[in-house]
């Protein structure tokens, strides 16, 4: 028809030009009126649909905002309860400070009470104290103990409590005690506490908001036809809540005005936010739009008659513009797909692109190297063969969650097992993410990471920990045996060296008492008794040096080593020398005790195991650096004894003392014969 406007019309025979023109204008008018009327109807339909869509989006936005407020309230209370749980004293301690902290927190959180209960229902704390006193402490709803039994943070739906007049809800967290018992710390709220979350003053007129618990009862409700607070929801809403977590539907229960209801379930509390608007609220704006469009549309129809000759030109330009825009959009889509494919191929982690039917559309070289499949073996096929049955079920749940717009788990990563080509099963972590597309097709990316090395490393760490525990226990048993042997040796020496001498002194004194009339003989006997007492004292002094180092006082290291080497030479019949270079007068008592014990152990080992006859001890110092060298002329030492797993008690003792000094201990054989023990350490500045 538009082409006919630009083409000449041949005149009909016997017809007057003016008459033909009038008929032509009449037909043109009729021809243009019909499209104008159709356009008017389409505009009205689009306007009504746009108004209803905008109102639906606004309704859902109000529902989501209410759900977020409910979720944030629960998360805030749970976080505060977890911080309060850290102040819980150990078993058997007084709970009054915890009670005061709980009372203060109840005021800050604007909750009615905070209670601490056992899994068996016994109440340990109640803040603030109930009006019924201690008797009320023993009465708590059974639902409040569910957190203690499951060990998971949760909310308690509306329930009755004899302490409160109306229904209450609870927000609780588990509290694990050192004894292994799990308690429940519950924040108790009466239903009116939830009413401010509705923000009724911000809702448009005739709109109604509500909060529904898991049992399908209203926890908070603005004025309207939905129902009473604490009562059950209508059957239509109950059926919707049982099937899905969010949505919008039209409710027309008998006896109630039709309403459009939107609902959204909060993830933390599993409570549902509900916002309802009367059905007429969707139609009145649309009719106002019809009246508003009526006048302009009439003008458009009139203007269309005058501007019909512009349609072809405008339509052609519009088509050309649409063609150019379509070509540009197609080119942009191709560039986006090429960029996505390039990013996929360059990704270092195994990544596969799948569609909503779980079929593989593309995968990168990292995925090919991980699973071993060629492109023709996996492209267009299901993702299922790459996972074990249990892990494939988890992967399907992740895919379903992403398609719903949610994420499973705290970080979206799931642990499981995957299967390589050939049947090799390996531990892995996988995650699913959506891939936006301009053409509206929904693609998903599945990334898989092989965690075999990490699990092997964790297993090796656990084995090393067990080995360290075993070595430590073996070392403690050896230490106890060595201590028992040392005590037995000291007992024998006291009995052999001191006991007989004391018995001799006793006999001399008895003889002197029996001959008290002979002064000369008494004097001789007393002189022999004195000599025996000196021998006993000297022997006790020698024994005490083996038990308590003579250098246990600060600044006495050099003198203690000199005295020890003199005593060792006399007792063991060997030659001992000490040479020092530097000042050791400011060495602390703890460091001096460790060095003294190292020298004592080195000398004992040289005589006992190496049959040494000459021992030389060198002690040197330069600033904070200190060194000790003990050399002997014995048979040498077995270097395998240095291995940490060897049961030698003396070497372990010297190594432990070197570590206490933050130094290093070395044991080696001398070329000229004998063994050499070298200790290097630094004196801390604060001890200098």
Distance CA 509, CA 519 (A): 13
Give me the domain span that covers residue 129: 79-184
- Classify the C-alpha dihedral 554-555-558-563 as positive or negative: negative
Q: Which two tokens stand for residue 248?
A: 């919008």
Whether residue 425 lies inside any domain: the answer is yes
Among candidate residues 165, 184, 203, the one where a domain is terminated:
184
For 98-117, give one letter per residue: b (16+ CB within 10 A) or e. bbebbbebbeebebbbbbbb
What confidence tier does 57 reach under pLDDT thresholds 50, 70, 90? confident
Residue keyed to tokens 């005061």: 100
The mean predicted confidence, pLDDT, of the chain is 79
Contact 97, 175 (CB under 8 A): no
CATH code, domain with 154: 3.30.450.20
**301-358: pLDDT as tens digits:** 666 556 555 545 564 566 567 778 878 777 777 777 777 777 777 778 889 889 888 8
Segment of 121-130, 249-258, 602-611 carrying the highest mean pLDDT: 602-611
Question: Is residue 610 pLDDT above 70, yes or no?
Answer: yes
503 lies in some domain? no
Is-contact 428 435, C-beta < 8 A?
Answer: no
> Does 440 score more than 50 pLDDT?
yes
Residue 555's contacts (CB-CB under 8 Å, 6 or more residues apart) are 584, 585, 586, 587, 592
Among 417, 450, 483, identify where a domain stops.
Answer: 450
Examine the domain organization and report whether 436 and 559 are in the same domain.
Answer: no
* Mean pLDDT computed over 371-382: 87
Residue 414 forms part of a structural domain: yes
Tell me the pLDDT tens digit for each residue of 652-667.
888 888 888 889 999 9
- Helix, strand and coil percent figures for the chain, each rounded to 5: 55, 20, 25
Percent of the chain whose predicted confidence (pLDDT) is above 90: 15
Determine if the pTM surpasses 0.75. no
Structure tokens at 58: 């606004």
User: Does 111 map to a domain?
Assistant: yes
What residues are paired with 616 via a beta bridge?
577, 631
559 and 666 inside one domain: yes
210-214, 254-258, 352-356, 573-577: segment of lowest average pLDDT: 254-258
- Give me the CATH number covering residue 567: 3.30.565.10
Confidence label for 427 from pLDDT (cuts 50, 70 and 90): very high
Domain count, the chain: 3
Domain closes at, from 140, 161, 184 = 184
């Amino acid at each position: 028809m538009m082409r006919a406007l630009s083409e000449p019309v041949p005149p009909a025979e016997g017809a007057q030009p003016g008459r033909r023109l009038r008929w032509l204008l009449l037909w043109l008018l009729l021809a243009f009126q019909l499209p104008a009327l159709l356009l008017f109807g389409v505009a009205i339909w689009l306007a009504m649909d746009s108004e209803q869509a905008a109102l639906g989006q606004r309704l859902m936005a109000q529902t989501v905002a209410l759900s977020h407020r409910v979720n944030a309230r629960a998360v805030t209370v749970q976080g505060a309860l977890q911080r309060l749980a850290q102040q819980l004293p150990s078993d058997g301690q007084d709970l009054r400070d915890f009670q005061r902290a709980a009372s203060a927190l109840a005021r800050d959180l604007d909750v009615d009470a905070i209670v601490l209960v056992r899994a068996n229902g016994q109440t340990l704390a109640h803040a603030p104290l109930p009006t019924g006193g201690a008797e009320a402490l023993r009465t708590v709803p059974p639902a409040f103990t569910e957190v203690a039994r499951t060990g998971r943070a949760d909310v308690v739906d509306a329930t009755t409590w004899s302490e409160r007049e109306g229904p209450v809800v609870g927000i609780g967290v588990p509290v694990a005690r050192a004894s292994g018992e799990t308690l429940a710390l519950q924040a108790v709220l009466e239903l009116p506490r939830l009413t401010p979350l509705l923000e009724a003053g911000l809702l448009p007129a005739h709109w109604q908001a509500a909060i529904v618990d898991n049992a399908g009862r209203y926890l908070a409700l603005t004025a309207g036809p939905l129902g009473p607070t604490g009562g059950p929801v209508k059957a239509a809403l109950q059926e919707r809540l049982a099937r899905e977590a969010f949505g919008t539907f039209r409710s027309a229960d008998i006896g109630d005005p039709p309403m459009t209801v939107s609902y959204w379930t909060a993830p933390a509390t599993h409570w549902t936010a509900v916002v309802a608007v009367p059905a007429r609220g969707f139609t009145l704006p649309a009719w106002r739009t019809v009246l508003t469009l009526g006048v302009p549309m009439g003008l458009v129809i009139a203007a269309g008659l005058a501007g019909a000759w512009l349609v072809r030109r405008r339509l052609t330009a519009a088509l050309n513009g649409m063609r150019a825009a379509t070509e540009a959009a197609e080119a942009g889509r191709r560039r986006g797909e090429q960029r996505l494919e390039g990013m996929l191929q360059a990704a270092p982690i195994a990544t596969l692109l799948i569609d909503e039917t779980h079929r593989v559309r593309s995968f990168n070289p990292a995925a090919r190297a991980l699973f071993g499949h060629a492109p023709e073996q996996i492209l267009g096929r299901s993702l299922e063969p790459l996972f074990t049955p249990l892990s494939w079920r988890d992967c399907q749940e992740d895919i379903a969650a992403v398609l719903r717009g949610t994420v499973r788990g705290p970080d979206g990563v799931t642990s499981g097992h995957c299967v390589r080509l050939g049947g090799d099963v390996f531990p892995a972590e996988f995650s699913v993410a959506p891939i936006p597309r301009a053409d509206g097709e929904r693609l998903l990316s599945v990334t898989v990471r092989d965690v075999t090395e990490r699990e092997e490393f964790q297993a090796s760490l656990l084995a090393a920990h067990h080995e360290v525990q075993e070595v430590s226990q073996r070392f403690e048993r050896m230490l106890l045996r060595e201590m028992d042997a040392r005590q037995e040796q000291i007992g024998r020496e006291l009995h052999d060296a001191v006991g007989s001498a004391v018995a001799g002194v006793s006999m001399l004194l008895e003889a002197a008492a029996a001959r008290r009339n002979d002064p000369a003989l008494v004097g001789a006997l007393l002189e022999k008794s004195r000599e025996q007492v000196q021998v006993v004292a000297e022997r006790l002094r020698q024994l005490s040096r083996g038990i308590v180092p003579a250098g246990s006082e600060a600044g006495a290291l050099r003198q203690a080593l000199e005295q020890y080497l003199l005593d060792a030479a006399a007792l063991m019949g060997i030659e001992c020398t000490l040479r020092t270079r530097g000042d050791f007068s400011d060495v602390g008592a703890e460091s001096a005790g460790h060095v003294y014990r190292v020298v004592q152990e080195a000398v004992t080992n040289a005589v006992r195991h190496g049959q040494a006859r000459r021992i030389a001890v060198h002690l040197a110092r330069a600033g904070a650096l200190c060194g000790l060298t003990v050399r002997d002329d014995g048979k040498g030492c077995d270097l395998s004894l240095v291995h940490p797993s060897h049961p030698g008690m003396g070497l372990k003792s010297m190594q432990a003392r070197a570590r206490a000094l933050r130094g290093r201990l070395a044991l080696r054989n001398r070329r000229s014969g004998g063994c050499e023990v070298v200790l290097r350490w630094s004196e801390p500045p604060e001890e200098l």
